[in-house]
Amino acid sequence: MLRRIFICLVLLAFLAVPVRADTIRWVDFDVPYESLKYAMDVDIATFETEKHLDWIDILALAACRTGGKAGLDSVKKAVRDLGGDRSPEELLDGNLKYYNYYHAAYEAVLGGFLGSYAIEKDGQWLPKYGLKAFSPIAEGYGYSHCDDFGFSRSFGFSRKHRGNDLMGSLGTPIVAVESGVVEALGWNRYGGWRVGIRSADSKRYYYYAHLQKDHPYAEGLQEGDLVQAGDVIGYMGRTGYSDRENVNNIGTVHLHFGMQLVFDESQKETDAEIWVDVYDIVRLLSHHRSSVREGKRVYPYRDLDTEEFAPVG
């Protein structure tokens, strides 16, 4: 009798745990810069037309046809096809399995990049539609960019590099790529002084590491703060590789910039983490850099697609 009760309790506990068989467990984001730029420009150009072509739809169709490569020719063909009268389902003869995967994956990577925003100039808010995410490096500061995602790292333990390194000058202002919430702030033995920001839709976790010794963060920045895309969050340095705080053990001044995708909270801080190569994304964002003066952005900004970040009044 006790054995039956135990088995029933185990079964009930098992059934009470939600099964997420459809949760994406891995994403190889291989879309080249040229394809990203072309699809983005088409999206912006068609925004207020009768046939608005969403860049996620374009890239997902191209990727579905090319096994995720989405080269420029395939993207141009997707634009022509989607500009006609047929839906993605009709274009793919009803086989949407892979299209749905790529669409969900690319929506997670790029979902907060294009949209409606407003910039304040001369006391007026000027609404626009376009690229609303910013380069992590402020306007007017030079940098070089390493295509080093996946390279080996050995400090602490052997592992893969889960981001890209942007080399620049000590104290270069680092800005938030996207609006979101400061989820992590402080010292990490690998990243030194670092900031982790979660996007408004919770799908992207941005990681900015090796910030400046003695003066790593923007004044007053705290965990739990809401930040706007383009806000100064910190300053470039070379801290890290130490269990002791505020130590420069990184050889070269640079920003480690990474993007983690979160389809399920169980993927955070586990071996199931999904980090994507942001090299071509950073190239795309280099067209949109935040103007900064004395640690503050020059032009106030509001994300109009997200209630928490929209202007009041």
pLDDT at 222: 97
Least confident segment among 105-119, 165-179, 269-283? 269-283
Confidence of residue 154 (pLDDT cuts 50, 70, 90): low
pLDDT at 20: 46
Residue 19 reports pLDDT greater than 50? no
Domain segments of the chain: what residues?
A: 25-110, 132-309
Contacts (Cβ under 8 Å, ≥6 apart) of 235: 170, 171, 172, 173, 174, 211, 212, 215, 216, 217
Percent helix, percent strand, percent coil in the chain, to nearest 5: 25, 25, 45
Average predicted confidence (pLDDT) for the chain: 89
pLDDT at 15: 32
Confidence of residue 193 (pLDDT cuts 50, 70, 90): very high
> For the residues 243-265, what does the mean pLDDT come to?
95
Share of residues in the chain with pLDDT > 90 (%)? 77
Confidence of residue 266 (pLDDT cuts 50, 70, 90): confident
Residue-level length of the chain? 313
Confidence of residue 135 (pLDDT cuts 50, 70, 90): very high
Higher confidence at residue 153 or residue 101?
101
Residue 147 reports pLDDT greater than 80? yes
pLDDT at 87: 93
pLDDT digits (tens, 9 = 90+) for 36-76: 999 999 999 999 999 999 999 999 999 999 999 999 999 99
Higher confidence at residue 12 or residue 235?
235
Can you tell me the distance from the alpha carbon of 313 to that of 307, in angstroms, rounded to the nearest whole number? 12
Confidence of residue 149 (pLDDT cuts 50, 70, 90): confident
Higher confidence at residue 7 or residue 69?
69
pLDDT at 5: 35
Residue 270 reports pLDDT greater than 80? no
Q: Alpha carbon of 22 to those of 19, 28, 97, 137, 311: distances in Å?
A: 9, 17, 11, 36, 36
Higher confidence at residue 272 or residue 168?
168
Confidence of residue 247 (pLDDT cuts 50, 70, 90): very high
> For the residues 124-139, what does the mean pLDDT come to?
96
Please say whether the structural domain 132-309 has been given the CATH code 2.70.70.10. yes
Ordered DSSP codes for 1-36: -HHHHHHHHHHHHHHHSPP-TTS---------HHHH
Q: Alpha carbon of 257 to those of 33, 148, 194, 270: distances in Å?
A: 17, 11, 10, 19
> Is the Cβ–Cβ distance between 290 and 134 less than 8 Å?
yes
Residue 137 reports pLDDT greater than 60? yes
Q: Is 71 exposed, middle or buried (0-12, 13-18, 19+ CB in 10 A)?
A: middle
Can you tell me the distance from the alpha carbon of 309 to that of 100, in angstroms, rounded to the nearest whole number? 29
